[in-house]
Amino acid sequence: MSEETIAAEPATDAAADIVGDAVPERSRRVAPIIVLVVTVVIAAFFVILIRAKSDNAESAYSPLIGKAAPSVRTTTLDGKSFDLQRRKGSWVVLNFFNATCGPCVQEHPELVKFVAEQQQISDGAEFYTVVWDDKTGDTVGFFEKNKVSWPVLVDDNAQIAGAFGVSKVPETWIVDPNGYVVFRTISEQTDDSLTTCLNKQIAIYSLLPVPDGCP
C-alpha cells in the first residue's frame, strides 16, 4: 500500500464521522415536523367526523324557502291522485328518494320511525316519498318489497323534482299548513333530527319558544 493511500485513509474516516454525526442531527430536526403533520391530519379527520354528525339536520338554502310550495299534482304508486295544494291545513314532509342511493336506503328505517310517531299524533305531519329519477325501476321495486304506511308519489317526468330544484338525494322538505316551504335539508336524516326540525318550524309557526337542535 502506498503512502498516498495510507495518508488518505484518515481523511476518509473523518468524513464518515462527519456524515454519521450529520444524519442523527438531521433526523432530530425532521422528526418533530413529521409528528406535527401527523397530529394535524388526525385532528382534521376528527373534525370531519364531528361535522358529519352535527350536519345531520343541516338546513340548505333554497329560493323557495318562505314562498308558496310549487304545485304538485301526481299519483301514488297505488294509483290514487295527489294534489299538494289540497294538503293545506296540515304539515307536510316530502322526502325525495332513490333506491340506488346509499344514504337514502340508510335513512329509510329512521323515516319509518318518524312516520309512526307522527301518525300517533292527532295533528301529526303528513309524510310523502317522492320517487326520484327511477329510470331503472329500482325504487318502485324497493317499495313493492318494503311496504310503507305512507303514500309514495310518482314523478315520471321529474316535474316535482324540477319544481323543487332537487339535483340529488336524499333531500327532505317541510311545508307548513298555509302551503309555504319552511325547511329544506340535503343531508341524511334520523328520526330525532327530523322531529327536532319539524318541532322548530311548528314553534315558529305557532309563535312558541323555539327549541334548540335544528339550524
Q: How many domains does the chain have?
A: 2
Residues 35 and 95 in one domain: no
pTM of the model: 0.73
DSSP per-residue letters across 19-48 = HHHHHHHHHHHHHHHHHHHHHHHHHHHHHH
Residues 73 and 145 in one domain: yes
* Residue-range definition of the domain harbouring residue 150: 59-206
- Beta strand 171-175 pairing with 92-97: antiparallel
Query: Grid cell 464518515 — which residue?
Result: 16
Residues 124 and 174 in one domain: yes
Residues 155 and 191 in one domain: yes
Q: How many residues does the chain have?
A: 215
Over the stretch 92-132, which tens digit does the pLDDT of each residue have? 999 999 999 999 999 999 999 999 999 999 999 999 999 99
pLDDT of residue 156: 86
Q: Is the backbone of residue 137 left (phi > 0), alpha (psi -120 to 50) or beta? A: left
Q: Is residue 215 part of a domain?
A: no
Q: How confident is the model at residue 68 (pLDDT cuts 50, 70, 90)?
A: very high
* CATH for 118: 3.40.30.10
- Of residues 42 and 32, which shows the higher confidence score? 32
Q: In whole angstroms, what is the distance from residue 29 CA to residue 80 CA?
A: 73
Look at residues 18, 57, 79, 25 and name the one whose alpha carbon lies nearest to residue 174.
Answer: 57
Q: Looking at the predicted structure, is the pLDDT value of residue 186 above 80?
A: yes
Segment 179-186 shows an average pLDDT of: 97
